[in-house]
Amino acid sequence: MERFMREYRRSQGGFDFIDFVDEAAIERIRGKLRVDAPTTVNWQWEYGSEVAELRRLYEKGKEGQWNAATDLDWDVPVSRDEWLVAQVPEVSLLSTICKMTGKDEATQCAAAFDEVNWVLSQLLHGEQAALQLCGQLTNVCPKTDEKWYAASQVADEARHNEVFARFLATKMGTIYPISATVKTLLDELLSVEGYAMKTLGMQTLFEGMAVGIMGNFHDHACNPLFKDLLYRVAQDESRHAAFGVMVTRRVVRDASQQERERMEDWALAVLEALNANQQLDMLRTLGPKYDLDPPAVANAVRSMPEWPAFNSMAYMHTVVPNLQRLGLITERTEPEWRRLGMLTQRGNTGV
């Protein structure tokens, strides 16, 4: 199987960790602002609907528009001295480790705040990538319904950029830089050629992951502004993931065996790299603040008997069930998904 970021991997206990320790390498990756993204423009002379389910999703998207500036109660205070999310292991690894190492509740609360701040920052950067990728899709998609929906998603992603940036800047106080792992993978999605791979990568993989992460935060959110923000964004993200499924389903149906296997292997490679980081980018940034050794924490969590169930939650919420239904997790690759702790019997039914 293809492996992204091979030069930043280390193997321990039969698991490949992606661990960026070279600050110069991280800055080089972050500093790459221009990404070559070969694309084509597909004219389309059929302005009537060709794909009824996509036209219905487009209409649903128009009905679901909201204003980030006026539809949220921005007067609600947010404090790092109060629990932003409930303290449960699947919501904040950092807070849980602080508790296990005997740190007081105020420190645990602050650690949860910092971790949510870091994760939301990564989601913000991901929303910028989605904004740019959906702009690409308005060009490369061959059907009017696809172009119109992609255009509507551009507006959604601009709103998500706005709302996350405002929440992070005015309520949490920090926008953390993009992690090297996330930047590398988003560059891969932006530069991969063809609407099928772009839709699979952003809508099905990354939007599916975002639905799972935000759903988990929403279920355990203690702050009403944070909870409302997550609910509104997640409603949009669910439509985006549905668009990915609808487009990819038709692509897979018409693809050759070789093309299907390429999509299957690429999807696994992208998510394997995300999984291989095991939050080390976050731990490298925040761990020292709480006297935690990042590799020791990652190794300890990885060796826990309950790790597969804990680790697979974000994947099993939406993205893995969708890939299974699309025929992009087969007997050929399913054992690897299980070995990597990304597929269990638990989970949602996808989109």
Distance, in Å, from the CA atom of 3 to the CA atom of 9, rounded to the nearest integer, reads 10
Fold assignment, 85-339? Ribonucleotide Reductase, subunit A (1.10.620)
Q: What is the DSSP letter of 10?
A: E
**C-alpha dihedral over 152, 158, 163, 169, to 10 degrees?**
170
List, for the chain, all residue ranges whose pLDDT scores fall below the cut of 50.
347
**Using one digit for the tens of pLDDT, what is the confidence trace for 236-266?**
999 999 999 999 999 999 999 999 999 999 9
Residue 347's pLDDT is what?
45
Distance, in Å, from the CA atom of 333 to the CA atom of 337, rounded to the nearest integer, reads 7
**Using one digit for the tens of pLDDT, what is the confidence trace for 131-151?**
999 999 999 999 999 999 999
Residue 5's pLDDT is what?
97
Residue 350's pLDDT is what?
63
* Helix-strand-coil split of the chain, %, nearest 5: 65, 5, 30
Residue 254's pLDDT is what?
94
Query: Is residue 18 within a helix (H) or strand (E), and if so which, with residue range?
Result: strand 15-18
